[in-house]
Amino acid sequence: ILNVEQSPQSLHVQEGDSTNFTCSFPSSNFYALHWYRWETAKSPEALFVMTLNGDEKKKGRISATLNTKEGYSYLYIKGSQPEDSATYLCAPASGSARQLTFGSGTQLTVLP
């Protein structure tokens, strides 16, 4: 069982603030790192799938970086909006079947 840690566990920011979260995972047997966004009462939705060390991906105001050698990824949100409020999950893919092991998530609340 992989040890995937996300911090902080929860976060409240004001509208317009920029913020970032951390995902730590074992660097051995790494295949890919997924980020998902999960709004209450909805299903998790993929944000990024990253595979290469040094990868940086961006979607609108959200971006992510990946360091596979030290086993961490950062997710950044620039100019947070209330609609960004959700739980952000990271999940490394590993094992022979590349199944995902999810972290417990960072719950973001953006206050208007």
Partner 1 sequence: NAGVMQNPRHLVRRRGQEARLRCSPMKGHSHVYWYRQLPEEGLKFMVYLQKENIIDESGMPKERFSAEFPKEGPSILRIQQVVRGDSAAYFCASSPGPNTGELFFGEGSRLTVL
Using CB under 8 A as the binding rule, whether residue 97 contacts partner 1 is answered as yes
Question: In terms of DSSP bridges, do strands 56-59 and 62-67 run parallel, antiparallel, or are they unpaired?
Answer: antiparallel
Burial grade of 69 (CB within 10 A; 0-12, 13-18, 19 or more): exposed
Establish if 49 lies at the interface with partner 1 (CB under 8 A): yes
Distance CA(49)–CA(66), nearest Å, equals 10
Binding mask 4-43 for partner 1 (x = CB under 8 A): ---------------------------xx-x-x-----xx
Interacting residues toward partner 1 by CB under 8 A: 31-32, 34, 36, 42-46, 49, 89, 93, 95-105
